[in-house]
């Protein structure tokens, strides 16, 4: 782990192997002066009070992430109709048949690594190696809300209609982002997620 100053109000922890675990551990320590902890793919941003920034940075150097046993965490199950426009293309790219693509995706156990791109968009790690293919060469200008997709080492659900370059495997009616709720995001870093195949 490397720590870098981001202006006078934040520290960036770089090259961390499990950002969600780091973020969860830092939050659990309840360090006075920390106002926000944001995990990303390989980093954690820690926003803090300016007058405590130096001491907080020194405290962060002593943090060691506590990895939680996933079996003890509640699991969010998302029902999916596997009717995606890219199923056949994914099968061709992976050397699998369509049924095998669906089975591999639906049988996985995923963890929210970090959130970004758009409100409620969660990057889920745990995708089977056989399904890990690059993003589409040509992104779509619009991907429908509820689209279940894969790209590289991740799978996700588009919480709202937006442009996107991921491969579409299916769709869900689950509400990933509700701006009127006290906790708008259905998924947050560290959560366990499973997909369940359902009929249309």
Residue 197 Cα distances to 44, 58, 192, angstroms: 34, 48, 17
Q: How large a percentage of the chain has pLDDT more than 70? A: 97
For 36-72, how does the pLDDT look when each residue is reduced to its tens digit (9 = 90+)? 888 888 888 999 898 888 888 888 988 888 776 666 6
Domains of the chain: 2-60 (3.30.1360.40), 71-197 (2.40.100.10)
Predicted TM-score (pTM) above 0.85? no
Dihedral-angle region of residue 117 (phi above 0 means left; psi in -120 to 50 means alpha; beta otherwise): left
Q: Whats the size of the chain, residue-wise?
A: 200
Give the position of tokens 């998924």. Answer: 187
For 85-105, how does the pLDDT look when each residue is reduced to its tens digit (9 = 90+)? 999 999 999 999 999 999 999
Q: Provide the pLDDT confidence category of residue 188 given band limits of 50, 70 and 90.
A: confident
Cβ atoms < 10 Å from Cβ of 94? 17
């Amino acid at each position: 782990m490397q720590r870098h100053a981001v202006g006078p109000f934040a520290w960036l922890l770089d090259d961390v192997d499990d950002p969600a675990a780091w973020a969860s551990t830092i939050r659990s320590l309840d360090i006075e002066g920390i106002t926000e902890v944001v995990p990303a793919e390989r980093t954690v941003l820690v926003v803090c009070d300016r007058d405590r920034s130096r001491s907080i940075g020194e405290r962060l150097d002593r943090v060691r992430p506590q990895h939680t046993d996933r079996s003890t965490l509640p699991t969010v199950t998302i029902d999916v109709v596997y009717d995606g426009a890219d199923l056949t293309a994914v099968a061709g790219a992976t050397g699998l048949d369509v049924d095998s693509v669906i089975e591999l995706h639906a049988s996985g156990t995923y963890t929210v690594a970090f959130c970004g791109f758009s409100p409620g968009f969660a990057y889920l790690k745990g995708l089977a190696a056989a399904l890990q293919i690059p993003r589409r060469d040509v992104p779509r200008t619009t991907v429908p809300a509820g689209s279940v997709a894969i790209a590289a080492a991740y799978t996700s659900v588009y919480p709202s209609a937006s442009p996107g370059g991921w491969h579409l495997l299916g769709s869900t009616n689950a509400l990933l982002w509700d701006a009127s709720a006290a906790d708008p995001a259905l998924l947050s870093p560290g959560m366990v997620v499973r997909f369940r195949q359902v009929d249309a």
